[in-house]
Amino acid sequence: MTERKYFGTDGIRGRVGESPVTPEFMLKLGWAAGQVFRREGQRNTILIGKDTRLSGYMFESALEAGLSAAGVDVRLLGPMPTPAIAYLTRTFRAAAGIVISASHNPHYDNGIKFFSANGTKLDDKVENEIESWLERDLTVAAPERLGKASRVEDAPGRYVEFCKSTVPSAFRLEGLHLVLDCAHGATYHVAPNVFRELGAKVTTIGVEPDGLNINLNAGSTHLQGLKGKVLEVQADLGIAFDGDGDRVLMVDHLGNEVDGDQLLFIIARHRHQAGSLNGGVVGTLMTNLGVEQALEGLGIPFQRAKVGDRYVMEALIHNDWLLGGEGSGHLICRDRTSTGDGVVSALQVLEAMWHNNETMASLCGGMDKLPQTMINVRVEQRFDPLTRDTVRAAVAAVEERLGANGRVLLRASGTEPLIRVMVEGRDRVLVESVAAELAAVVKAEAPA
């Protein structure tokens, strides 16, 4: 397959003002997407949602103009979680959905994610088709065929009701005190309502977006604030979302972090006990070995996919399984929704707590995580570190020291100029030491 010029593993992403994250490019991208998704003989509609970044206003207008020029109507959703756009794309029977977001990145980054009419991420073929239109000259539809734009005023309420519909009608959260950290991002105005309407007492942090503070020392990538607030108010549980709401991590009542691997195991075990798992579980190359061993002990099949939610979804569809996810908290419950959804995933975990009448700390007891360290090595340009003889030799030496109960994984980030160095094993001191050694080797071999 020809290497794509713009699309990465999760759409298009970069620093605002630097190619391709510019208003000129976004106008052309809107037009190109309109050409690909337009259905002849129909009044085509594409939804646009965004997170809370200041640059979202600029890119929303540019995409709207490009789509209109292609003869496609636009429904503007405003700030909404990424999975909400996936859901609303399905319910509005839209041709596609567009999300303006850079997920867990800082405010100075932004990007674009697309959803198909079915609310799923686009396959490579469709992304390649959009890229081919980007190479053509922009043409404008006849004046009478230009697209119209309108706002969807009830989008938040629609999504709140959808989230509540993913748990049993008897499910209630009375007596539970939750702290929600919404990362000053797209869940700030919907997540608190979901949990309050289900009966929980809710304390919130990270719900005052100003366009620049998204993910800033908040949310699923910075759990210190959530830990502190849980302990301060003596809450039963803390729940952290990322900037666009497709990831979730938790903190138990003692202030202990609960990552995506643990949450995945909790949901899988509950569904297995309830007889509703319907197959196995998909993780990634980064999934902690402890998950695999714990699932194996329950007789639950487990498969690793490449890192990235799109690859988890591909494996789930191939196997006709329902549950998968990543340690970052990007979990997919295919029988509930069509993409990773932080709020929906949190509700599945809370359902396990409610059904078993257990605390989060107790639920985590069924899985022993192996010590795992990941170091992000920032590089000037992405490269495959395993093409370097020095790196391969260093990896081989580390693997020999770790033995059969250890793993090493080097991979380039699909969204940032980083090489991720992951080491896992039984001895934490050894794991941290050899990870630092490998990171230094990778840094030394990185192209200038």
Question: Is 103 annotated in the active site?
Answer: yes
The candidate with the shortest Cα–Cα distance to 201, out of 172, 226, 228, is: 172
Give the phi and the psi of residue 213 in degrees, each rounded to 5.
-100, 10
Q: Distance of alpha carbon 2 from its chain centroid, rounded? A: 26
Six token digits for residue 258: 């609960």
Instruction: Give the whole-angstrom CA distance, residue 247 versus residue 329.
Output: 5
Say which DSSP state 52 is in. Answer: S
Q: Is residue 230 within 8 Å of 338, Cβ to Cβ? A: no
Q: Distance (Å, rounded) from C-alpha 261 to C-alpha 183?
A: 21
- Those residues with Cβ within 8 angstroms of residue 427's Cβ, 6 or more apart along the chain or in another chain: 371
Q: How far apart are CA 67 and CA 365, in angstroms?
A: 51
Q: In degrees to the nearest 10, what's the CA dihedral of 224, 230, 236, 242?
A: -40
Question: What would you measure as the largest C-alpha separation in the chain, in angstroms?
Answer: 70
For residues 37, 41, 42, 43, the Cα torsion angle rounded to the nearest 10 degrees is 100
- Rounded to whole angstroms, the Cα distance separating 112 from 59 reads 9
Please name the residue that has the structure tokens 């989008």.
155
Q: Strands 201-205, 237-241: parallel, antiparallel or unpaired by DSSP?
A: unpaired
Give all strands of the β-sheet with 323-325 in edge-to-edge order.
302-305, 281-284, 323-325, 331-333
User: SS in 3 state form for 356-423?
Assistant: HCCCHHHHHHHCCCCCEEEEEEECCCCCCHHHCHHHHHHHHHHHHHHHHHCEEEEEECCCCCEEEEEE
Residue 202, SS3 per DSSP: strand
Pick the catalytic residue from 55, 68, 103, 328: 103
Judge contact between 321 and 342, C-beta under 8 A: no
| Tally of CB atoms within 10 A around 368 | 12
3-state SS, one letter per residue, for 218-262 = CHHHCCHHHHHHHHHHCCCEEEEECCCCCCEEEEECCCCEECHHH
CA distance 94 to 115: 10
Active site residues: 103
